[in-house]
Structure formats: C-alpha cells, structure tokens
Structure 1
C-alpha cells in the first residue's frame, strides 16, 4: 500500500494538530499514514543554538520524506520558525524533498498597500506604526510568494500542488501569482457518524451542571484561542444589550505561541480583563427599574424641579459588574468542545477583517449543529460560497445587531438550526470529499484501493 507522510504539529494544543488527527484518520482508509510532527520546542525559540537544532530537525525530516510516496505539508508560518528567514529556509528544504506533494497553505497574503500609501498614513498619524505594519506585512507577502513560486518550479518535474481552503486564495495563487497547480476545498472535520452523534446531544441540564452554569442561564459561546482579531470587545458590548440571564463564556485560552517570558499577563488578556472588570451592566440596572444609571451603568445625580442636584439615595446600589456574567472555561478536549458548540444557546464569531482564511470553528460549528452568529467579514463571506446561508450574520462591530441576532438564535428550537441547508452543504463538502480530492491530486491509483 502507498505511504503518506503528513508534516504538521501533532498531539499539541493547536488547531493544526487537531485537523491533522482528522486527516490521518481519513487517509488511513486508503494509504499507510505517518505524521511527522514538527518539534515546536526547537522551531519556535530564538537563539543560535535553537536555530541550528531546528535546522537539523527539518533537514532530518526532509531526508525521511524522500522515502514516502506522498507528502502533505500543513503550512502555517509560525510553526516553522521565529523569523521569516528561518521559515523560508526550512519549508524550502521540505518542498524540495517531497517526491509527490500537496502543500496545504492555511493563509495566503498579497501586497495590497503601497509604500507611498503607508508613508502617507504614517505622516497623517504622526507615527511610524503604519510604516512598520506595512513592512512587517510585506515580509510575509514575500514569504508566501517565494513558497508559491518554489512549488511552481517543482511542479515542472514532479507532481506538486498547493491546497487552500477558499476560492479567494485559489485566485490569488492562480491569477495574481500565476501558479496553476492549486486547488481549493473547504475545511471539514466530522464523519457522518460523528456528525449524527453531535446533533443527537441534547442533555442541556447536564451540560450546564458540569460547567457550573445555572439552569436558566443562556450561554453565548466564544470558541478557540483568545486573540485581538476575534472582535471580543464587540461581544462584550453586545452582552450589555442582553437580559441578565445571558452569560458570555470563553471556551478556550490564549495561544501557546503568545506566551511571553517575564510577563505577568499577556497584554491583550490584561486589556480584556480590564474591559470586563470596569464596565458595569446598565441592562441589569434597567431590569431593576433604576433610571439613574448611565449607559455604562454608573449612578448619576437627579435634578429637582428647580434644576438643583439631588443626592442619590443611599438605598440605590450600583448594578453588578459585568464580570459576574463572563466565564472563562479554558481549553476543552475535542468531545467536550464539540458538545459546547452544540449546546450553547448561541456561538458568536465577531471577528474583524484581517485577511484570515477559513475558520475551523465555523465549519466545526456547522457540522456539530451550533447556532452560529458570525461577523460579515471576507473570511465568512468565502465560507458562504461553499456552505450557503447556514449561519446568521451581522456587520462587523455592530454590537446592537449582534445582541439581536443572539436572542434570535437562542429562541430557535433546539433542532431547527438550519438543519436542511446544512445537510445539503455537508453532502457537498465533507471530510470524505476532502480526502478524495487530495488523493486525486496525488494521482493516487484508485484501482489499487477500490474503496476510494
């Protein structure tokens, strides 16, 4: 039987590692599969000693790849090194060594800001930040271009392809970078049996008790790593517009790669805690009929008929802090993660636009029967091109609309989360179809494996 090597993280707290487990299971029906795990201990640390050790690790992996029939590299830049130069050098060795290659690119950027525009923004802002941001972005644009061009050169003398998860990224590679050896297929995770099991979950009482929620709590779930681009501030603001039984719950933590030495708290986590701790819910105050509360929930003075300030009566207590309605559950095993997606009253993805490829959370949420409410960014627009109207949308940053859509989702019967539309989408795009598409591009001979 043909042998396939998958180069990726594995058995790590990482989205790529979870996706690789799904791929290994799917491919194993047709070929012998080995995962060659990236050693993040060596690859993600600074210093000449770690650079040399990381290079040796990748060189040894490249030598091993030459013994396989097929190679799939799961490429995300941060997994291969701390500098662009390290990443480019190491991924280059692997691409060159793979005899029959599919390079899965989880992100592809194209230069969209000229030097002159960046300079103008810097002058207008009286800050070097726009210029530095453009320079940093340009380094990664050049990295992706170099990788794409190398695969194009390799494709002239061996079977080599790039796989992406959106039609937009395929067009960037084929139309902008002029490399035709590219195909797209959306992310996919659950087998039909796993999907049916997820949709069958309905024990809300047990889910609430196990996670410390009250029986009447409404769970608004945020899933995955806590990052700035995920628009968490919008979700916090939306919570102020919702009745007090609604709780904002984080199923996840900050990314392991964001851990900083000698830092008591990650800057964004610190910002988030302060936001949650300082904002007081005016909604709770309004529920008690207290009209002397500002939008941020702080008591204000009343005026008498003559316009004189009247003191706030001692019996008026400030409404509870928003932190009473926010929960941090942390990371969960895959089965519990899927259960939380399924049983949350609403799953919100308020992501801002940062050029992200397809989100794994939105696809897994659709497969698991989650009540999804997602920002109208380009990534989720690309998702609709495959899956259609299978989730609710709202304009980026519009926390009032988000609150309205959350209540709409929460009010829907448990099993009416666009089931028919999602069934149709799943029939078109699923993990079996993803495996089949990749085997076809590997030029896998189906006659040797009649199940394909």
Structure 2
C-alpha cells in the first residue's frame, strides 16, 4: 500500500512530529509512506484568496497513491486568516479528496467549530464538511479521547465515521536524574503559550520556598504571534526562572535529567492532546496536570498524574510541595506512566490506521466528478 500524508513536516510543530512518528511506524511495517508538506511559513504569507490554490499540488498527487492521511488543525488551512477561511479551504480540499475515492483518515487535532446562527458562514462550511464525511464511507475521522468523540457526534458526524485513540507515546526511555544540589526543578515543555498555564506556574512559584525553580523548556510558536507569554517571562528577569528556548528531540533527555517534576497546568480551553506530556511519561518523570478533559481521561485509565484544578496557583503550589517530598508517590506515578506508554504505542496506532485504510477499500473517482479544488463545494 502506498500512502500519502498531508501535514507540516520538518518544522518545530507538534503536528509535524505526530505525522512523522506515525509515518515511521507504518514504514517499519513495510508500507510506502510519503509526506506532502504544508509549509506553514509560506502559507502565512499568502493572501486569503490564494489559500485554496496552495493545496492543488497535493491533489495532483492523489492518483499515484492507494490511501491518504490528512492532519487537520485550523491553522494549517487558514494560517493567520479567519476560522471561516480555514473551514472553507478544508471543505474544498475534502471535496476533492472525496471525489478521488481514495480511502482517507483525517486526524482532527482540535474540537469542531460551528455556530448556531442560521446564516453563519462558519456553520455553512462545517455543514459542507460534515455532509462530505457522512456521505463518503471511505473517509474516517480520528480524534483523541472520548470527549472529542462526543463533541464531533454532537456536531453532526455519524458515529460510524469516527474512531478514537489516545496520543501515542514513543518507546520508554528512562533518564537518570542529575546529581541534586538541593533545588527542585519544575519543568514545562513545548511551545510557550498562555493555555499551558505559565501565569499560574509563575504565581505558584512565588508561593514556594527558594529551593524551587521553574524551567521553561521551549520557545514561542511561530504561528501564534499574538501570544506574549514568552516575552513576559523574559522581561520578568526572575532568577528562579530559566528559559532554554526551543529544544530539539535529541536535547530532551538532558533537560529531563535536570527535571524533578513536569508541570502541565493547562487551561480548559487548550487543545485536546499534549505531545510534551508524552516526553515526561516515557522519560520517567512525575507529572502534575490540570483537570482538563484530556488529562482526566488519561488519569481515569492510568492514574499517572497528580491532578490539580486549572487556573489555581495555590492548588498548584500545594500539589508541588506535597509531591516533591513524597518519593514513593513519585515512583508510583512514573511506573503508572510506563504502563500507559506500553498500551499506547505509535506502532499500535499505525496498525489501526492501516486497518482503517485497507478496510475501506481502494476507491475510484465518482463518475463525472474530478478531484478539483477550484470548484465550490455544493451545500
């Protein structure tokens, strides 16, 4: 089977990393997997009227492949433009994909965005997307977690079109801690953004004894130019806060060695998954996480987090103090995380994706319909 994926690639981007891991896992089973890259920098420079045309080269490649995987996040299709623009472009791409008849898995990394307003363009373009998915059994939708599944059912997708997974993890690779100098290092990994709870972490740090330090292991997201979180952290010039800037995969282990506890005080309105948390689990670090929907689902299954209420610096500080001095609980959380990692591997997800693609059968373009993107999608 030859599979073509549509995704960011080779960028500092969680979706690019996700797609690369999935592609490598499928290749290890002997499949041919190619990536058609979305250059997010180039897309951000395009005027809105040229967004649809950007995806024509992808559609021109469909005939040479047996099946497709599309990574979806609104910014990939709308860049800095409106949500409506992203929905319109994606609906056009999906219409062309449906016309090709190719078995397709679309991975939704964000919640559905629609509107109850009758004349809303947001509602109109979601309706077009919804109808395309529901009317084409060769298209299936992968979401992360039970809550995301319920959200998409509520938004009108047929249950038969949907399936769910947890965010997969790489092979367990414990990292020995560096020699302690008496400090306790609290680390937040990944892109620096408000939704990750940096304001709450900084406020919690102020409530903790001097031996606690906050390590910010990441940099600003290039597509999130309106978020000033990193700039505020740098401007504070707090001697108890260190900012590493972006770290590459090969540098994660060294940062983990310095880390005592990983923090994930995410806000409830953040994305449904977190690749950064998978780093903590696979490298053997205890995690304190907010009671967001996605983290609660993992906790119910694995019991691998110390949980706190979101947006509550005092609760976060209390949880940090309690866990920092409880070696038995830290060890229990780490072992529970390892068990969870063994149950949710990239290889396992790859097999499920391939089963979905193979089970759908290799389709043919519908009679009289060509996979073009420059035509309006019928309502």
**TM-score by structure 2 length?**
0.83
Are 1:62 and 2:42 counterparts?
A: no
Deviation at 1:367, TM superposition (A): 2.5
Partner of 1:72: 69
Kept in 2, the 8 Å contact 1:9–1:38? The answer is yes
Give the alignment of 1:9-158 within 5 angstroms. 9-30=8-29, 31-47=31-47, 51-52=49-50, 54-81=51-78, 82-95=81-94, 96-97=96-97, 99-109=102-112, 144-155=126-137
Within 1, Cα distance between the matches of 2:177 and 2:296?
33
Are 1:431 and 2:320 counterparts?
A: no
Within 1, Cα distance between the matches of 2:111 and 2:19?
19
| Closer, same or farther: CA 75–332 of 1 in aligned 2, 3 Å | same
Deviation at 1:203, TM superposition (A): 4.8
- The one of 159, 162, 179 equivalent to 1:182 is 162
Deviation at 1:140, TM superposition (A): 5.8
Deviation at 1:17, TM superposition (A): 1.1
Within 2, Cα distance between the matches of 1:338 and 1:416?
18
Kept in 1, the 8 Å contact 2:4–2:34? The answer is yes
Are 1:160 and 2:139 counterparts?
A: yes
Within 2, Cα distance between the matches of 1:22 and 1:215?
36
Deviation at 1:273, TM superposition (A): 4.7
Within 2, Cα distance between the matches of 1:66 and 1:333?
35
- The one of 298, 318, 324 equivalent to 1:383 is 298
Within 2, Cα distance between the matches of 1:189 and 1:143?
34
| Closer, same or farther: CA 203–237 of 1 in aligned 2, 3 Å | closer
Q: Secondary structure at the match of 1:108?
A: coil
Are 1:171 and 2:150 counterparts?
A: yes
Q: How far does the alpha carbon of each residue in 1:242-267 deviate from its partner, in whole angstroms, 9 at most, with x for none?
A: 1212111110111101237xxxxx64
Q: Secondary structure at the match of 1:163?
A: strand
- The one of 351, 364, 375 equivalent to 2:279 is 364
Within 2, Cα distance between the matches of 1:355 and 1:9?
20
Q: Secondary structure at the match of 1:80?
A: helix
Partner of 1:253: 219
Partner of 2:377: none
Q: How far does the alpha carbon of each residue in 1:134-191 deviate from its partner, in whole angstroms, 9 at most, with x for none?
A: x9xx866765554333222222xxx110000111111222344142210001111303
Count of aligned pairs between the two proteins: 350
Q: Secondary structure at the match of 2:203?
A: helix
Q: Secondary structure at the match of 1:256?
A: coil
Kept in 1, the 8 Å contact 2:114–2:122? The answer is no
Within 2, Cα distance between the matches of 1:177 and 1:232?
35
User: Which structure is larger by alpha-carbon Rg, 1 or 2?
Assistant: 1
| Closer, same or farther: CA 143–241 of 1 in aligned 2, 3 Å | farther
Unaligned runs of 5+ in 2: 361-379
Q: Secondary structure at the match of 1:204?
A: coil
Kept in 1, the 8 Å contact 2:281–2:338? The answer is no
| Closer, same or farther: CA 43–85 of 1 in aligned 2, 3 Å | farther
Over aligned residues, Cα RMSD in angstroms? Answer: 2.8
Partner of 2:198: 232
| Closer, same or farther: CA 349–29 of 1 in aligned 2, 3 Å | same
Q: How far does the alpha carbon of each residue in 1:54-107 deviate from its partner, in whole angstroms, 9 at most, with x for none?
A: 433301111212321111001011012223344234323432325110000001
**TM-score by structure 1 length?**
0.70
Deviation at 1:215, TM superposition (A): 3.3
